[in-house]
Structure formats: C-alpha cells, structure tokens
Amino acid sequence: MSDSIKKWHEMQEAKKNSQTATSAGTFIYESPDGGDTITRRPFHGDISERETIKHPESKLRQDAYRLLCENDEDVIRLAMKILDIGS
C-alpha cells in the first residue's frame, strides 16, 4: 500500500477517535410531544439507549404546587373535603 493511502487511513482513524472522545458525555435531547415528555440519548448512540427525563405528570405536579402556593390553607382543606365527598 502506498504511503499516501496509509496516511489517509491513519487520518480517518484519528478523526474517528477524536469524534468519539469529544462526544463522550454529550447527549441529544428530543421531545416527541412538543415538550411534555423529554428524552435524551448519547450522541452517536442508538435510539434504544434513550431515557425519559421529564414525564407529562411533571406538568400536573407543577399545577398542584402552584395551587398550594397561591391559596390559603383553609381553601385547600375545603377543596380536599369537597374531593373526599365526591369520591
């Protein structure tokens, strides 16, 4: 094999190694439903490696926390009684 071809192969291998090293710990973030659910997967990783980092119930928890912060304890207790009666 000629020296130029060997050098080309060496350069390709070095490029591949540097891409792997720089992408270690880097993630791609995706949302299939406009932001309610967020998943991440490693850069250059297979889609089967993705993990869910935010579930839709996070919005429900935010709303519940907002209700607790914006209302007095008496209002919250009355709402709990109304829910208990309706169940």
Residue 61 has what pLDDT?
A: 82
Per residue in 38-75, pLDDT tens? 888 988 888 898 898 877 677 778 888 898 999 999 99
Residue 21 has what pLDDT?
A: 47
Written as six digits, the tokens of 66 are: 């907002």
Classify burial at 27, counting beta carbons within 10 Å of its beta carbon; exposed 0-12, middle 13-18, buried 19 or more. middle
DSSP-based three-state secondary structure for 36: coil
Which residue shows structure tokens 């891409």? 19
Per residue in 10-25, pLDDT tens? 888 877 766 554 566 7
Taking the alpha carbons at both ends of the chain, their separation in whole angstroms is 80
Count of CA atoms in the C-beta half-sphere (13 A) of 2 = 3
Whether the full predicted model's pTM is greater than 0.85, yes or no, is: no
Which residue shows structure tokens 């090293």? 21
